[in-house]
């Protein structure tokens, strides 16, 4: 079901670090850009507005998001094309589109407000719905409820601890598995939110007690950290000389992978110091444009709480890469 943009009750997603991203992509130069996570099309729209010679190939693995972006960006005619794909397949998708190199690539990772605010998608503890959380229901991924019904207590605890940084992960996992063993598996968002709220001490928490657990499950259901390093390397390969790659992440594990991979591609060896020879494959293919990640200022966070924790890193492809 496509949801319209604008008007009462329609989905709104405020693009994070918009001005900074467009500047780092140097979108005013025009050319072909790939928006790997087109979402509701906010960043794509700004790229298309930056130059009448800009074109965008927009990927998303969420068909509903893509439909909304298509409607929003129809005004740009053939300058915007939408592709229902996982950005980790960038090489295959570009080959099919007969595109070798592009001027810029953007990945704004994570989840969109459309996904969070559509109750039936099961991403949010704020609405009661089946515990789904899949960005692409056609992908064959298990739902969050199926995952909690299949994984061992140790595996559930690891996911909640690692991806959610939740101190009470073990207790939450134990309670989830106890429910399952009683023949009452967790099926809905409300069910899970209530269980987590009881399992953790809700006092003195700035955020809803289930926030971390929901984030962790979403990352696991959608394999969000898998092959991110390979994607970044592939993206750099598809940039033309002087082309730009910008990545916005919202999770410390994501940012660590992005930082390390971009470091390696800028020629900085990531091997442990005592190793006699470099084995990490560092090569000087890019110049880092953001020595420190760009983060939203207080004003942006005040107007858009989803921007909190965002980190933007960008690189420029070198004209003559040095091995
Ligand atoms: C933060 S939103 C992007 C918002 C967008 N920049 C805007 O301004 O509207 C992230 C989007 O990336 C999509 N996404 C996440 N992982 C993806 C992947 N591996 N491949 C393709 N799309 C993905 C999600 O479905 C979601 O729509």
Residue 93 confidence (pLDDT): 97
Q: Closest ligand 1 atom, CA of 35? A: 6
Name all residues whose Cβ lies below 6 A of ligand 1: 13, 15, 37, 39-43, 59-62, 65, 86-88, 108, 110, 112, 135
Determine the residue of 60, 86, 310 to mutate for testing ligand 1's pocket, defined as the one with the most ligand atoms within 8 A of the Cβ atom: 60
Query: Does residue 118 lie in a domain region?
Result: no
Per-residue pLDDT tens, the chain, 323 aa: give them.
333 344 444 457 899 999 999 999 999 999 999 999 999 999 999 999 999 999 999 999 999 999 999 999 999 999 999 999 999 999 999 999 999 999 999 999 989 988 988 989 999 999 999 999 999 988 889 999 999 999 999 999 999 999 999 999 999 999 999 999 999 999 999 999 999 999 987 665 678 899 999 999 999 999 999 999 999 999 999 999 999 999 999 999 999 999 999 999 999 888 888 888 888 888 899 999 999 999 999 999 999 988 999 999 999 999 876 65
For residue 45, the CA-to-ligand 1 centroid distance in Å is: 14
Residue 239 confidence (pLDDT): 98
Determine the residue of 2, 13, 14, 37 to mutate for testing ligand 1's pocket, defined as the one with the most ligand atoms within 8 A of the Cβ atom: 37
| Same domain? 166 vs 31 | no
Q: What's the total number of domains in the chain?
A: 2
| Same domain? 318 vs 230 | yes
Q: Closest ligand 1 atom, CA of 112? A: 2
Residue 208 confidence (pLDDT): 86
* Contacts of residue 173, Cβ cutoff 8 Å, sequence gap at least 6: 153, 154, 156, 157, 160
User: Strands of 239-249's sheet, edge to edge?
Assistant: 80-84, 54-60, 31-35, 102-108, 239-249, 311-322, 284-288
| Same domain? 215 vs 238 | no
Residue 9 confidence (pLDDT): 45
Residue 44 confidence (pLDDT): 98
Residue 11 confidence (pLDDT): 58
For residue 83, the CA-to-ligand 1 centroid distance in Å is: 12
**Which of 221, 236, 258 marks a domain boundary?**
221
**Which of 177, 206, 221 marks a domain boundary?**
221
For residue 280, the CA-to-ligand 1 centroid distance in Å is: 29
Residue 114 confidence (pLDDT): 87
| Same domain? 231 vs 89 | yes
Query: Does residue 64 lie in a domain region?
Result: yes
For residue 84, the CA-to-ligand 1 centroid distance in Å is: 11
Query: Which residue puts its alpha carbon closest to atom 25 of ligand 1?
Result: 62
Query: Does residue 2 lie in a domain region?
Result: no
| Same domain? 102 vs 235 | yes
**Which of 168, 186, 221 marks a domain boundary?**
221
| Same domain? 232 vs 101 | yes
Residue 8 confidence (pLDDT): 41
Residue 7 confidence (pLDDT): 42
**Domain extent at residue 163:** 128-221
CATH classification of the domain holding 85: 3.40.50.150
Dihedral sign of CA atoms 224, 230, 233, 235 in order: negative
Residue 271 confidence (pLDDT): 84
Q: Taking the chain, what is the end-to-end CA distance rounded to the nearest angstrom?
A: 48
For residue 110, the CA-to-ligand 1 centroid distance in Å is: 6
User: d(Cα 143, Cα 18) in Å, to the nearest integer?
Assistant: 32
User: d(Cα 32, Cα 105) in Å, to the nearest integer?
Assistant: 9
Which residue shows structure tokens 């459309």?
A: 114
Residue 169 confidence (pLDDT): 97
Query: Which residue puts its alpha carbon closest to atom 18 of ligand 1?
Result: 86
């Amino acid at each position: 079901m496509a949801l319209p943009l604008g008007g009462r009750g329609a989905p709104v997603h405020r693009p994070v670090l918009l001005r900074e991203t467009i500047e780092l992509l140097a979108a005013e130069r025009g050319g072909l850009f790939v928006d790997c996570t087109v979402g509701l099309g906010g960043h794509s729209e700004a790229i298309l507005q930056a130059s009448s010679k800009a074109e965008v190939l927009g990927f998303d693995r969420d068909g509903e998001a893509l439909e909304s972006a298509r409607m929003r960006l129809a005004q740009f005619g053939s300058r915007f094309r939408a592709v229902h794909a996982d950005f980790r397949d960038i090489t295959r998708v570009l080959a099919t589109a007969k595109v070798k190199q592009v001027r810029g690539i953007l990945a704004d990772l994570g989840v969109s407000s459309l996904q969070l605010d559509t109750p039936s998608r099961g991403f949010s503890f704020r609405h009661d719905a089946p515990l789904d959380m899949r960005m692409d229901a056609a992908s064959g991924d298990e739902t969050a409820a199926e995952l909690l019904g299949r994984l061992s207590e140790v595996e559930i605890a690891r996911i909640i601890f690692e991806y959610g940084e939740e101190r009470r992960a073990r207790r939450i996992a134990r309670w989830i598995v106890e429910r399952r063993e009683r023949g009452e598996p967790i099926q809905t968002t409300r069910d899970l939110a209530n269980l987590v709220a009881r399992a953790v001490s809700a006092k003195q928490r700035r955020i809803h007690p289930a926030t971390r657990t929901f984030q962790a499950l979403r990352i696991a259901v959608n394999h969000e950290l898998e092959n991110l390093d390979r994607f970044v390397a592939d993206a750099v390969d598809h940039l033309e000389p002087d082309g730009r790659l910008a990545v916005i992440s919202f999770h410390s594990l994501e940012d660590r992978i992005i930082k390390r991979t971009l470091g390696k591609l800028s020629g900085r060896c990531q091997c442990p110091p005592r190793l006699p020879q470099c084995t990490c494959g560092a090569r000087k293919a890019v110049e880092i444009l953001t020595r420190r990640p760009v983060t939203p200022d207080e004003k942006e966070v005040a107007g858009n709480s989803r921007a909190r924790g965002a980190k933007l890193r960008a690189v420029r492809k070198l004209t003559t890469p040095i091995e």
